[in-house]
Amino acid sequence: MNATLEQIAEHLRGAQRVLLVAHVNPDADALGSTLATALALEEMQVPAQVTFPDDPFDVPIALRFLPRQDLIVDPREAAPADVVVSMDASSGDRVGRLLPVGEAAGTFIAVDHHASFVPFAPVVHVDPSRPATGLLALDLIDQLGVKLTADMAMCLYAAISSDTGSFRFASTTSDTLRAAARLM
């Protein structure tokens, strides 16, 4: 089902526990988007964890500056979740061994910005006009009605800056720059 971010926010508001999944070999867009969303859920008192399918499991060195790494867990240690959200994965292959975890959840959601997206979850929000999933995560956090914190902003800025080539890629729009200014 192609869902609006408002509909996805409703799923998250009703969740008992959420697992946010970044793609294999996560980049700043994948890990920043999932962490920022987990932080927003934490503000709402919804327990959330972040993971990705790498084996061996290790946060990439280049991303260890992102705040609140305590929310990142090895997939084998993730608590059962009734809602699983994949962020920045363009296909089920990109979530690898975590695909069955999503499929077994009560609600499985995919949020992505890639034009090459191949649906793999029942609830999908894809917007290829956005240059980074971090922008979709920012919109989702706004839909949740959560006030941005410095940690959320840092995660989202890293996500957006990374996927726009530090705002040099042609996909960068005036909306992208306004969002980055807001996060600063």
Question: What pLDDT digit, counting tens, does each position of 45-65 carry?
Answer: 999 999 999 999 999 999 999
Specify the pLDDT at position 103.
Answer: 97
Q: The tokens of 11 are what?
A: 């799923």
Specify the pLDDT at position 139.
Answer: 98
Residues 113, 128 contacting (CB under 8 angstroms) = yes
What is the band of 166 on the pLDDT scale with cuts at 50, 70, 90? very high
Q: Is the pLDDT of residue 1 over 70?
A: no
CA-based nearest residue to 88, from 158, 144, 145 = 158
pTM of the model: 0.97
**By CB neighbour count within 10 A (0-12 exposed, 13-18 middle, 19+ buried), where does 171 fall?**
middle
Exposure of 4 in the CB half-sphere (CA atoms within 13 A):
6
pLDDT in tens, 60-108: 999 999 999 999 999 999 999 999 999 999 999 999 999 999 999 999 9
